[in-house]
Structure formats: C-alpha cells, structure tokens
Structure 1
Amino acid sequence: MHLQQIARCVTVAGALLLCACQPEKPAPPRLDGGNPQQGKRLLAQYQCGSCHRIPDVESARGLAGPSLERFALRSYVAGRWSNRHDWLVRWITSPQSMDPGSFMPNMGVSADDARHMAAYLYTLK
C-alpha cells in the first residue's frame, strides 16, 4: 500500500470512530395508536391550554403547568415516569392515581382520547 492510501484509511477509520462516540438522540416514544390531529383537537376541547403552553393548539398559553413544547424529546412524564406512551396515557386519564399530591386535575379523559392526545404530544420535537 502506498503511504497516501494508508493515510486515507487512517483518516476514514478515525472519522468513523468519532461518529461512533457521539451520544445518540433519544428514541421517540413508541406509539400505540392515536391520531395526532384528533389529539390536537382534544387538547383544545379539554382546555389543557388553560394550564399548559402547547404549540399550535389554539389558546394554549397557560402558565400554571409546564410548557409541553418539545414534549417528545423529554425523558420523563410529569418529571417522574419514563416518557413512554402507556405512562403518558395513564397520566392524562388519571393523574391523581399516579401522584395524589399533583396539581394536575382529573379531567375525565377517556383512554381513547388520551391515546390521541399523546400521539399529538409526541409530534412536538
């Protein structure tokens, strides 16, 4: 092998090694059904925006609860449970069952509606 070829191989190998060391972006949560557009409508219908700031949801400019911007990139639901679809659906349908001291009210959201709402929240990256 010529010296130039060896130098190119070392350069390529080094670049590949550096790429392998970069931290991975978090994988998006797995979805178990749900229609994001319907979820967006439901977030407005249940007036989630009176407490939360939610991108592209009409009148969702609340400041009492955390902003839901970039929700899909979060590691946790409500700061405590892994950001998984099943935990999020449970949190939306019955927050008090997960954290009795939470200020998040039980809004009477069905599991089906919560799946749609979660599907929309997981589009927020």
Structure 2
Amino acid sequence: MSARLLIGGLALALLAGCEGRPAPTGLQGDPARGRIALAQHACRACHMIPGLTGPESYVGRPLVDLAERRFIAGKLPNTQANLVRWIRDPKSIDPHTAMPAMGVSERDALDMTAWLLAPEQ
C-alpha cells in the first residue's frame, strides 16, 4: 500500500462524521478543503486542532484559539498572509523552531488558514 493511499485513507477516517465550518468573512480559501489538508499533512500529530481527531501527544502549541491570538510564533502579526508564510516555511521566520517545512502548497496553506481562522460552531 503506498504512503499516499494510506495518508488519504487516514485523512478520510479523521473527517468521517464531522461537520464543516462556515466560510470565514474576509479570508481567502476553502475551510472544508483546509480541514482535509490539515489531516493529509498530519498536522494533528503535533497540534491539537479543533474539529480533527488524533493522538494525545502534542509537540506544538494547540491551535484552538488561533484566531484570537495577536501574534504567530511570537513574532508575526496574526494575519492570514503571515499564517500562510508560517505554515509554508516556518524556519524562514524562526530558524530555531521545531516545526518542519511540510511541503504545503500555497493553495493548501490558504485553505488550512481558512479552517484555522474560521469561527467555531
């Protein structure tokens, strides 16, 4: 079984039975696709993310209240554009971060941020 097929199956299993979020006002991207991208990139392996299930071991900060935070990584103002930058290339912002570059495309990063910054139901 290929890794891509396994990851896709895992993503679908994580998403089964969960409701979507409304599209956030003023943000680009598709929150429903963002939720899938967060699962496909295994973000839940390190972060607690609202609406996604996963392991109970966390390396990274929980992302539950991300929309209310003033800064990303303690350095950047919390905007969608900065969050996209952080997701795509965290080491360019903080060379000492433990967060790896996961090869996230611009489109996936926009969609992920739409999910993360959308109001919870």
TM-score of the aligned structures, taking structure 2 as reference length: 0.73
Q: 1:89 to 1:113 in 2, by over 3 A?
A: same
CA spacing shift, 1:72–1:99, aligned 2, 3 Å: same
Where do 5+ consecutive residues of structure 1 fail to align?
A: 1-27
Letter of the 2:61 counterpart: P
Aligned to 1:77: 72
- Structure 1 residue 58: deviation in Å? 2.6
Deviation at 1:60, TM superposition (A): 6.0
Normalised TM-score (structure 1): 0.71
* Alignment-mate amino acid for residue 66 of structure 2: F
How has the CA–CA distance of structure 1 residues 99 and 66 changed in structure 2, closer, same or farther, with 3 Å as cutoff? same
Please tell me whether the aligned partners of residues 54 and 61 of structure 1 are also in contact (alpha carbons under 8 angstroms).
Answer: no
RMSD: 1.8
Change (3 A) 1:94 1:34: same
For CA contacts below 8 A with separation 6 or more, give which structure has more relative contact order: 2
User: Which amino acid in structure 2 is aligned with residue 85 of structure 1?
Assistant: Q
User: 5+ unaligned residues in a row in structure 2: which ranges?
Assistant: 1-23
What's 2:117 paired with?
122
- Which contiguous aligned blocks of 4+ residues in structure 1 show a shift greater than 6 angstroms? none
Paired positions, count: 97
| 2:62 aligned residue | 67
Q: Using the aligned pairs only, state the percent identity.
A: 41
Match status 1:86 vs 2:81: yes
Deviations 1:16-69 (A, max 9, x none): xxxxxxxxxxxx9942x2000110111011000111000111316441100000
Match of 2:98 among 90, 100, 103: 103
Tell me by how many angstroms 1:86 deviates.
Answer: 0.7
> Which entry has the higher C-alpha Rg, 1 or 2?
1
Q: Does 1:57 align with 2:52?
A: yes
For 1:44, give the aligned amino acid.
A
